[in-house]
Amino acid sequence: MINRREQDPFYGSGASEAKTAGATRRSIPNFTEVCASVTQAFGEIVPVTLEGRSLAQQSALFSTADVVVSQHGAALANLIWAKPNTAVVEINPQTLPDWIAARRYFERLASCLGQRYVSVAQRDEHSPVEPAKVVDALRQVL
């Protein structure tokens, strides 16, 4: 399960085109509660953050994962390192612009890679996610 850390100060500087990143851009305020529900239903999980990790570390994490749960964002581009048949749960804020939501980037990527994908709705970029919905989504793809 992928969580977001606070953004690196770089993103607030004049050198950055994007002015937000990490938990400033999107977050799951009840991440710990979601992890606890998933652990109770399926056993031990590994919560991780990717900020500050090298490409090699990110590749290693995804290449050994059987399941990936992440909020919509660039972290899911790492699915290219994941095995076919990996279960992918993407948490999608319902306030994403229509042009992003319609393209279903990571659903399509997972499909091309032979991974099993399901989406869970999140009211907005920083609202809690219903733990039961994540558990139900995992049951669909496992």
pLDDT in tens, 84-133: 999 999 999 999 888 887 789 999 999 999 999 999 999 999 999 999 99
7-18 average pLDDT score: 70
User: Angle at which helices 31-42 and 131-141 pack, to 10 degrees?
Assistant: 40
Residue 7 has pLDDT above 70, yes or no: no
pLDDT band at 14 (very low <50, low <70, confident <90, very high): confident
pLDDT of the residue at 6:
79
DSSP sequence for the chain: -EE-PPPPGGGGSTT-SS---HHHH---TTHHHHHHHHHHHHS----EE-TT--HHHHHHHHHH-SEEEEESSGGGGGGGGSPTT-EEEEEEETTS-HHHHHH-HHHHHHHHTT-EEEEEEESSTTS---HHHHHHHHHHH-
User: At residue 85, what is the residue type?
Assistant: N
Average pLDDT, the chain: 92
pTM: 0.90
Instruction: For residue 20, name the pLDDT band (cuts at 50, 70, 90).
Output: low
Can you give the pLDDT at residue 49? Answer: 95
Q: Report whether 50 contacts 2 (CB < 8 A).
A: yes
| Beta bridge mates, 2 | 48
Provide the residue ranges of all domains of the chain, joining segments of one domain with +: 2-141
Q: What is the pLDDT of residue 101?
A: 78
Give the distance from CA 49 to its chain's centroid: 10
CATH classification (class only), 2-141: alpha beta
